[in-house]
Structure 1
């Protein structure tokens, strides 16, 4: 898959899948077109990525086929200039795919319709919005501690009372535990565990502790865990497509510097045409016959289509 917001994008208004979708293409181009058609939206559309994802053809074969598929009207690369509400701007190249074969005029209209599009709703870094989530550390008051149940001491109180079991040098009285309980509760509200509190109050003690309550208060205040960063959602910044230009599907040159013909620059167009005809030859039985034929042994040349129309009018069928 490409980076979020890039890769294959449907042009819309597709016909349903059908066997003749790519029958007008040569066998190799047809196979690659079918492969691309079944890729998910957002899949990387570079010829190297597609060659790596399918086993039949190498990079150069895929590259030339993508060029010929572009000429056939299924693929376009369009550069969109995005202007964001904060006055930042960027160019983004989009790859648009159409299973239905489109004319050059259709693609030109499609590109022009992109101009002025509001793209704020696209949650895509590099398109319309900058990062949507940021970390901040505002000064906020810690949550109010829960009042301990009358019949059972709180976890914070029990942690302080059990310090004497962890280290005999830290025997806290009931008064010490109650006065320090709010500090211990604040530790717990910031994500600390009872073990974290015990370790902070017993690690590196001097040989003799004259004032366990004072030492515990000093450590609980000075070693308090950091406040959690608040995650907030930024308001969406309005963004709009302010310019649209067509780019070559193979070399990324755009119409500001080269002439783009049916989605390709002249140089890439010549490379694709050098491989031979773009389409499979059409059987003669599918070709229209001559409208005018001469009757055997007669000098008169008859326009068959006009003669049939005249006979149908005479019979009241037109």
Structure 2
């Protein structure tokens, strides 16, 4: 699967996991990677999006953690995530759960390399969206790409074009069963012998022996969408356009000038009325 190489974003192999039940969740029905998913975004946002896309589900993608692994400060990351939300690549959500009899909120960030509009996100997060899976042709094409990249990950698994084509169908079954690219590469390259005499036969054997099980059907979960910037749900009767509340989009009206002046005047009056402590004067 071809992935654009963003110089600002390191490989996400050492990125920490969130607490169980939290962290990144991949949106369903995404198109396979082409390396051009984020070409329309500014360079910083494209770099961060590419990094998030390669992280496994359950990764900690809080702003503080991202700042430790990416060459951007927390303010820059917050701005970039807001822009990715507005562009349709992510949504922040929460859902209530009960742990040991105590109610609590569980927080997730859904990420999609395929940009989605507000209507799709709203329907999906309400458990109502029909999920359109990528075409078999697109999945096979993506499988071919990741097979071709194995030799760059480890030269012992270098495959020819014909060998990639012959293994394409078997590799596509992994992605049809929910495996990520990182999981696939790890399964193919972990614990290699010192010498691989026949890369094609070795990869073919691993594709069959380590094929993930069919995923169990899961009932659709309902989430409450919160603002990407302030993590608050929308006000009653309002909507979160682009995953942002009206205030964080810049739509909240400021105070009128006369109210600002009146408030400042009240503060000055309070400060003048405070008794002096006498500190610094002679006894």
| Short-chain TM bin | 0.3 to 0.5
Name which one, 1 or 2, has greater alpha-carbon Rg: 1
Instruction: From the two aligned structures, give the one with the greater helix fraction.
Output: 2
TM-score, normalised on structure 2? 0.46
TM-score, normalised on structure 1? 0.42
